[in-house]
Structure 1
Amino acid sequence: MDTVGERVAGETVEEHVTRVLAGAGATVRLHAVDVHGGREIAVAADEQVVLASVAKILMVLEFARQAGAGQVDPQERVVLTAADRLGGWGVAGCADDVTMSLRDLAYLAMSVSDNTAADALLRRVGLDTVRLLAAELGLRRTRVLGGPREHLESMFEDAGARDAAEFAELYPGLEPHRVRGFAALDPARTTSATARDVTTLLRLIWQDRAGPAAACAWVRELMSRQAFRHRLASGFPDDVRVAAKTGTLPGHHIEAGVVHYPDGGRYAVAVFAETAGLAPVQTAVDRAIGRAARIAVEGLRGAPAA
């Protein structure tokens, strides 16, 4: 008997990917492409999608470029106080003021998706320069409307909350249809792109074409240090390295990265899963993201995923 994880006779890779995510209760937008070749797997890859924290790749890349050009000092110290904390991992969990270098803020933004660190970094490099970078790299469908602070504040406003504390009280009682109406969850009203744009960005970084080679190498290194292994990486054997960036919002479970095979193969993959349920943790969806990525990459390699 067929299960969601098994390939059905005559089924395309794209159909298999779609079915795997559907089995976890999600719809999928996916793009996978050989970093140094032209083969691709695409499932609704040109539909506009919410980027969430995947946008931090662009922010950190712009910082790396500015640091390499001498426009910012990566060792410049920044003081983050209680007023700067935005929730989530990293600095937001600290009880006291934190003094940290810009370089370490970039590390936290990528490794644990620290919203506070990313927001401070974006203030330093400038929102307009990040937008210009996307245009320079030919990411025609990428729209950067703000950083973590703007997105969180828009959610507070849509929930009728004055601040994070009130939002935490109100959110559990909101009807799902109201949450789905949040601007932060609408690609037309928030930072968004397409799965194809995201893999284009990744390919440029891995080909040293998104900026100076040293800047691209540093972004690759930071992505390889991401702490979360529950999505893309979960679908691959231990000898396959994954450098990636997650993104999570209610009903949106995302990861984009580059998969490194021992034989030298490099594959950029972006998976955007949208769910009917709004729970922030959906283990079945996370596993399906990894499974779908493996199916797509093995499809590119010409071998069926086991």
Structure 2
Amino acid sequence: MIKLLLKFISLLLLLNIIFSCQQKHFKKEKLFNHVQTQINAIHGDVAVAFLDLSDPTDSLYINANETFHAASTMKVPVMIELFKQQEEGTINLNDSILLINEFKSIVDGSPYRMDIADDSDDVIYNKINTSVALKDLMYSMITVSSNLATNVLIELVDAKNVTATMRNLGAEKIKVLRGVEDQKAYDLGLSNMTTARDLLIIFEAIATNKSGSQGNCKAMIDILKDQRFNEIIPYYLPKEVEVAHKTGSISGVHHDAGIIYLPNGKSYILVVLSKNLADFEKGTQQLAEISRTIYDYMTKK
């Protein structure tokens, strides 16, 4: 009798596991179809990568291996490299550097300068020819996407080192070749590239303390939480939701990638990349709606 009862209980447990798996599969399939429908409505090319950090088996990848111009999302790998080199003792982020607005093209070494009219950070241009702390340049690079600060820091850490570090983290396709506004390199197709999957891997490394020490990863997250451009991932989310993220945009391109922290303690990573947007403003709004879809999915789990 006891053996029969135990077999019955085991059968019930097995049936419950099967039912739970079927429910989870159904919800994932529903999410995939919803996001795919949203992507199909956008006049442009879109990639999405999602990972539930509290349940790594729950993920979503659509066009995640397709390459995109990285735009300013490449500034996150540069930040990781800065902290890495500080850990190695090569640099000290508290040190200062003379801010000079002159850089060398990776094509032939010819000089070029940044134009304040093309940058998102005009304050830093008042500091040219003065000493600025590396940590302040890094903060501006992420929070207001300063191109001038970015170029100074890339020359300091070397783009090749940045890409090598990304490979060590498991990001196989991302390429950080150069600084911003190197027109000669751009004309030859030498641009910084990424995929949604690689950016997800990079942000997961930050979220799980794999991209540096626990203290440095927390410092990176704090900087990313101060992001000033919030038109995509956070746009439709409640104000109590914290988002540590980095955006990027050029003509026809708008990206956002980050870690989303929910009030219930759960967190997830979302990467939304786009290119060839026919209508930049409408496309941006549609990308923000994808973020809301993922948020709704996470809060109803």
- Normalised by the length of structure 1, the TM-score is 0.77
Q: Specify the SS of the correspondent of 1:41.
A: strand
Matched with 2:219 is: 218
Deviation at 1:243, TM superposition (A): 1.1
Q: Compute the displacement of 1:16 (Å).
A: 2.1
- CA positional deviation for 1:81: 3.5
The reply on whether 1:140 has 2:138 as its aligned counterpart is no
Secondary structure of 1:255's counterpart equals: strand
Q: Within 2, Cα distance between the matches of 1:93 and 1:117?
A: 8
1:243 — aligned with what? Answer: 244
Q: Indicate yes or no: 2:121 matched with 1:90.
A: yes
Name the SS of the counterpart of 1:258 in structure 2.
strand
Distance verdict in 2 for CA 1:200–1:297, change over 3 Å: farther
Is 1:16 equivalent to 2:34 in the alignment?
Answer: yes
Q: In 2, distance between residues paired with 1:90 and 1:61?
A: 21
Contact 2:120 2:147 survives alignment (8 Å): yes
Q: Is the 8 A contact 1:85 1:92 kept in 2?
A: no
Cα distance change of structure 1 residues 52 and 11 upon mapping to structure 2, 3 Å threshold: same
Unaligned runs of 5+ in 1: 1-9, 159-181, 184-188
Distance 2:29 2:266 in 1: 25
CA contact (8 A) 1:65 1:211 kept: yes
Q: Separation in 2 of the partners of 1:43 and 1:144?
A: 23
Any residues of structure 2 matched to 1:112-261 within 5 Å, and which?
A: 112-150=144-182, 152-155=183-186, 158=187, 183=189, 189-261=190-262
Task: Supply the distance in 1 between the matched residues of 2:54 and 2:248 (Cα, whole angstroms).
Answer: 25
Over the matched positions of the two proteins, sequence identity in percent amounts to 22
Alpha carbons of structure 1 residues 62 and 96: separation in structure 2 relative to 1, 3 Å: closer
Question: Which structure: larger Rg?
Answer: 2
- The answer on 1:79 being equivalent to 2:108 is no
**Counterparts in 2 of 1:18 and 1:26: CA distance versus 1, 3 Å:** farther
CA contact (8 A) 1:18 1:27 kept: no
Could you tell me whether the CA contact under 8 Å between 2:154 and 2:178 is conserved in 1? Answer: no
Count of residues in correspondence between the two structures = 260
Say yes or no: does 1:108 pair with 2:137. Answer: no
- Contact conserved, 1:105 with 1:117, CA < 8 A, in 2? yes
CA distance in 1, matches of 2:40, 2:92: 47
Aligned to 2:16: none
Please name the residue that 2:71 is paired with: 52
- The answer to whether structure 1 residue 26 and structure 2 residue 58 are counterparts is no
Structure 2: unaligned runs, 5 residues or longer: 1-27, 103-112
Cα deviation code 1:3-24 (max 9, x no counterpart): xxxxxxx983223223334434
Distance 1:37 1:61, change over 3 A: same
Which AA in structure 2 matches 1:288?
Q
Which letter maps to 1:214?
G
Letter in 2 for 1:267: Y
Separation of aligned partners in 1, 2:80 and 2:101 = 27
Specify whether residues 128 and 275 from structure 1 end up closer, same or farther in structure 2 by C-alpha distance, changes over 3 A only: closer
Cα RMSD for the two superposed structures: 2.3
Q: Cα deviation per residue 1:54-94 (whole Å; 9 max; x = unaligned)?
A: 01100011101222332212122222244353531225773
Structure 1 stretches of 4+ with a deviation exceeding 4 A read 300-303
* C-alpha distance in structure 2 between counterparts of 1:102 and 1:203, whole Å: 25
